[in-house]
Amino acid sequence: MSAGEHDSGDVLVRVEGRAGYLTLNRPKALNALTHAMVLRLDGALAAWERDPAVETVVIEGAGERGLCAGGDIRAIHEDARTGGTASADFWRDEYRLNARIARYPKPYAALMDGIVMGGGVGVSAHGTVRVVTERSRVAMPETGIGFVPDVGGTYLLGLAPGELGVHLALTGAVVGAADALLCGLADHFVPSDRLPELAYDLARTSVHGALARHVQTPPPGELAAAREWIDRCYAADTVEDVLARLSDSGVPAAKRAADLLLAKSPTALKVTLASVRRARRLGPLERVLEQEYRVSCAALSSPDLVEGIRAQVIDKDRAPRWSPATLAGVGAADVDRFFAPLGDRELRLAGPGPLQEVPW
């Protein structure tokens, strides 16, 4: 790939100065990822890994609305509804890309402006330099569509301080810059009007030098002041007990969190809690991605995924009919089936060697 080369299409790829730039280019779809986009990103990263002219990689989103809103869930809905395999094939390559980003041997700078959700977290929050702005809206909202956080989301949320990650995983709550920093989903705050200059500087100086010119203190967040009730309530053993603690806490924000949980898929809530807690014990990211692949594939045959996407995205009636409809209806065996081995369909990732030391 020659310096300055541009692609037309859903991923724009160019080299300028010492940096390679990846621009997600589906602004009308909030830069939602397709399988072709994942393969294009992975191919560019593989090429730049061996290219001495590229010292830093920068990923950004086209348009004004955000880096990436996730995967193409309409396509996932159709695949799940018809019993297809396209989603499993997509996730296999997407999770490989997430692992590549996490162990990339060069600085990987993600400009997490605007909406960064689901798969958008996967292509940004595993990087070495993660920049949020006052417009950032970061979330793993999967339980609202009958799905479970993936793309290494259970790994990242499992590492968040106290029970903050469990709170975000179960509720799908959207966080701004300060709270993304607190939860370990980002590293630096830069005002959005300075992002173009930061991106320009990354092509011309070191990452440290570029950041030093632009990083500022973010506006205050909300989660730090909520740690007491979050840590106490979400430390409960079961989702039912979490709900009881939230409802009985006497804290208005905790009661609002309980109301959020009551609207989510009961099955997704129980599988999500198990996923985050198992992720904490699994060790490296690769092992967690392998677990997430089992869970995601199992979700394809769950009625809640089809119903959740129908209610939130297709028909937009916001009235999903979950099956089972209550937490009491979801037994241990129902949860365990999401973690069952896939035999020859398993995702097997390299590792678990140490993360690359990235020269800044």
Residue recorded with tokens 């600085």? 107
Closest CA to 180 of 221, 235, 127: 221
Residue 152 known to be catalytic:
no
- Residue burial 300-324, b: 16+ Cβ < 10 Å; e: rest: bebebbbbbbbbbebeeeeebebee
Residue 142 known to be catalytic:
yes
Q: Give 100's Cβ-side CA count (13 Å radius).
A: 19
For residues 248 and 254, what is the distance between their CA atoms, to the nearest angstrom?
9
Catalytic residue among 10, 60, 79, 150: 150
- Ramachandran angles phi, psi of 58, nearest 5°: -125, 130
CA distance to 11, 184, 306, 318, per residue, from 129 (Å): 20, 12, 35, 36
Residue 162 known to be catalytic:
no
Closest CA to 207 of 98, 126, 134, 127: 127
Tell me the helix, strand and coil percentages in the chain, rounded to 5.
50, 10, 35
Say if CB 295 and CB 150 are below 8 A apart: yes
Alpha-helix residue ranges (DSSP H) falling in 55-111: 73-82, 86-102
Say if CB 297 and CB 80 are below 8 A apart: no
Catalytic residue among 71, 114, 120, 127: 71
Residue 228 known to be catalytic:
no
Catalytic residue among 119, 120, 158, 308: 119
CA distance to 161, 233, 248, 282, per residue, from 98 (Å): 22, 31, 39, 17
Catalytic residues: 71, 119, 142, 150
